[in-house]
Amino acid sequence: MLKTTDICIVGGGAIGKTAALALARAGHQTTLLTAERTDYKTPVTAHWDQRVYALNHVAYDLLSRLRVWDAMDPSRIAAIDTIEVHGDGDAAGHVGFDAYAAHTEALAWTVEDNNINQALDHALQFANGVTTQLGSAKALRLDNQGVCLYLEDGAQIVSKLVIGADGANSWVRSQVDIGIQYRSYNQRAVVANFGCEYPHHGVARQWFLGEQGIVALLPLSGSCVSLVWSAPDSLASVLMQEAPEQLCRRLSNLPSQSLGAFTLLPPSKPQAFPLRLIRSASMIAPRIALIGDAAHVVHPLAGQGMNLGFADIDALLAALSKSENTSDCGDERTLARYARHRAEEVMLMQLTTDGLHRLFDTSLAPVKLLRNLGMSALDQIPFLKRRLMNQALGRPLSF
């Protein structure tokens, strides 16, 4: 079977689905190639998904334009109105950010992976110009006219542009020999959801704990929170094996925490994901564009990994809309425009998250003192705080 299409997207996660929907809405015949179809029809009464994202305004605006945001279950979306960041040690620093100072209704929104994927699946079922094909690619051949993907079942997909949205271990990236800079953080993100004794009031809380890693508690609807503990591998193993009551006690003993006692919510066992830095040598190759984790992987301490992927989609849409060669969406100049647009933001976010990880990963007393003093000083400088909020929100703010 031979299929021709304008654009073929490899990867069936939320970023790949959003890209397929957005590009089809922009008038491009699009094929979404996914290895397996997943049923995301999760009832409202089901337990909280352990994969949770803090989506910023770029993600909100894009998903709203695609009418996906309003299709999600609003009862399972929590607005983040305030962010509190705590340092470590006896002289722990503190810095806070709030939506009022940022002149916006919310700094971000906490959304489950199931919730967003269910809305995207529903939208794709009724979208014109996009088809979903089950299968796995085994080879990629390109020439001046287009790209041919050869699938395991013998089918072929010919397109003008192939988009790699297939994650950190991207098959597309490897096929076109885009090199990467890879570094393991020797940490794992331990994730789980908890009920808390007192309401969170829409506050996302983060603790830099030095040798114990970084703890983040994101608000969920009701008096529930989602834990992301970026823990050294040895501690992560302990957290994964110890009794739920012990993990709850660890959270209750966090400095300056005001949520009271914690209760681990179903499923009762946390999950863990390895943390690494991946820098692609390029986000493009001839007739190839990378988006999401296929293009860049950052430390989750700033909660911006998924948001970078949505910003990639926005930038690719803009590049295609400005293309002089409207008949060829894989045009070299169009892809170069996309790469230039994303270069600065991606590099800045990678440098920021990697630099903060290095700064807070050391246990040297002078460094601990300086970083805590720096956090407290930052809390007193409105201009710098607004600049940081501007970066996190993903859109310009008035000063």
Determine the pLDDT at residue 106. Answer: 92
Model confidence band, residue 396 (pLDDT cutoffs 50, 70, 90): very low
- Alpha-carbon distance values, 163 to 8, 303, 326 (Å): 6, 24, 17
**Which pairing describes strands 147-151 and 156-164: parallel, antiparallel, or unpaired?**
antiparallel
Q: Name the more confident of 17 and 91.
A: 17
Buried b (16+ CB within 10 A) or exposed e, 367-385: ebeebbeebeebbeeeeeb
Q: For residue 263, is pLDDT > 70?
A: yes
Model confidence band, residue 391 (pLDDT cutoffs 50, 70, 90): low
**Sequence-separated contacts (24+) of 310-314 with Cβ below 8 Å:** 310/15, 310/18, 310/55, 310/58, 310/59, 310/62, 310/63, 311/58, 311/342, 311/345, 311/394, 312/15, 312/283, 312/342, 313/15, 313/18, 313/19, 313/22, 313/62, 314/58, 314/62
CA pair distance 241, 229, nearest whole angstrom: 14
**CATH dotted code for 2-40+49-359:** 3.50.50.60
Q: Name the more confident of 362 and 274.
A: 274
> Which residue is it, tokens 């009022």?
100
Q: For residue 239, is pLDDT > 50?
A: yes
Mean pLDDT of 261-283: 94
**How is residue 21 annotated by DSSP?**
H
% of the chain beyond a pLDDT of 90: 71
Q: For residue 398, is pLDDT > 50?
A: no
CA pair distance 139, 137, nearest whole angstrom: 6
CA pair distance 293, 168, nearest whole angstrom: 5
Take residue 107 and report the two structure tokens written for it. 């700094």
Model confidence band, residue 130 (pLDDT cutoffs 50, 70, 90): very high
Mean pLDDT of the chain: 88
Query: Which run of H or of E encompasses 85?
Result: strand 82-86
Residue closest to 39 by CA, chosen among 117, 132, 111, 113: 117
**Sequence-separated contacts (24+) of 370-378 with Cβ below 8 Å:** 371/87, 371/93, 371/208, 372/87, 372/88, 372/89, 372/91, 372/92, 372/93, 373/91, 373/93, 374/93, 375/85, 375/87, 375/93, 375/94, 375/95, 376/93, 376/94, 376/95, 378/95
Give the start-to-end residue ranges of the domains of the chain. Answer: 2-40+49-359
In sequence order, the 6+-apart residues with CB closer than 8 A to the CB of 346 are 283, 295, 296, 308
Q: For residue 38, is pLDDT > 70?
A: no
Determine the pLDDT at residue 367. Answer: 57
Q: For residue 140, is pLDDT > 90?
A: yes
Q: For residue 254, is pLDDT > 70?
A: yes
Model confidence band, residue 397 (pLDDT cutoffs 50, 70, 90): very low
Position 217: which residue type? L
Q: What angle do CA 17, 22, 23 make, to 5 degrees?
A: 100
Q: Name the more confident of 388 and 5.
A: 5
Q: Which pLDDT tens digit goes with each residue over 369-390?
A: 566 556 555 555 565 556 666 6
Model confidence band, residue 211 (pLDDT cutoffs 50, 70, 90): confident
Q: Which pLDDT tens digit goes with each residue over 96-116?
A: 788 877 778 899 999 999 999
Take residue 157 and report the two structure tokens written for it. 């997909």
Model confidence band, residue 41 (pLDDT cutoffs 50, 70, 90): low
Determine the pLDDT at residue 374. Answer: 61
Residue closest to 21 by CA, chosen among 126, 130, 125, 119: 130
Q: Name the more confident of 289 and 144.
A: 289
Q: For residue 92, is pLDDT > 50?
A: yes
CA pair distance 47, 380, nearest whole angstrom: 40
Q: What is the pTM of this model?
A: 0.91
Determine the pLDDT at residue 365. Answer: 62
Determine the pLDDT at residue 267. Answer: 83
Determine the pLDDT at residue 108. Answer: 94
Q: For residue 368, is pLDDT > 70?
A: no
Determine the pLDDT at residue 96. Answer: 75
CA pair distance 375, 94, nearest whole angstrom: 6
